[in-house]
Amino acid sequence: MREYAVKIVDAFATEPLAGNPAAVISEARGLDKATMQRIARQLNLSETTFVFPASEPGADYHIRFFTPGQELALAGHPTIATLHTLLEEGRFADRGDEFTVHQQTGVGVLPVEVRRNGDHPVLLMTQAEATLEDAETSPEELAAALGIEPSSLLDTPIQRVNVGIPWLIAGIRDLATISTMQFDLGALARIEVREGMGITMFTPAAAAPECSVRARSFAPADGIPEDPVCGSGNGCVGIYIAAHKLLDGKREYVSEQGIEIGRNGRVTVRVLERGGRFTPQVGGQAVTVIEGVLRLPEAA
């Protein structure tokens, strides 16, 4: 039998059973794509990551992301969970308290900033340069799928935002509405399939005084009815907010997510601009909740 150490890490959290869980296999040499997909399906979390030696110049490691149904080019909370695991295992121990690592992903080599903070380092990942385009979905269709009135949506357009992984983004006017949506997963899945991406909703308001935004993310067609705390979704929201000059032009803030499903998490969002182009950074902390061993037959 072959054995692989596996951890389940709650990202965007500082205590167990909060934030968003991801499974991490920090030494994945010997696993092929088909087996990694089967492992992700077995673990059945929104994402499972596999770490390999880097093959691109300047990269510290190569990370691959799998949902239960497919491989992704990039993902947010699994990046935080994976680097938390690598730090916990002693990698980069000689780099001091503040440094940057570079992860090889499906969209290139991207930096992640590390600020050590006791048992819960603060990790800030840079995502890919963003693209925005108007969606096919109408306000009326989206509102019906969410179980809200079209007038509850912000006047800004529904857009497809891509930061290495794409999300359909739209805003809701108030905290009460986003918190109590009676959404139809079948209708959301049909929108997801047509648009080719999951759906992240946000409101420019929050319950916690340190937060400025509440977000919720849905990808039911990919087996994720509601993603507890979504790094890529929050990165796309940050781009949308910057592009439409919401939050009085604020380019850095904290988002809260997961409250409605008992997985309270916090995401720091920062938007960089260069030459009229936007790039998001998202980050937070993480905590390991489960450690174990994955056993596979030699032929797997």
Among the listed residues 47, 88, 192, 226, the single catalytic one is: 47
Mark whether 140 is an active-site residue: no
Q: Label the pairing between strands 224-227 and 48-52.
A: unpaired
Beta partners for residue 105, in sequence order: 108
Beta partners for residue 252, in sequence order: 270
- Which residues are annotated as catalytic? 47
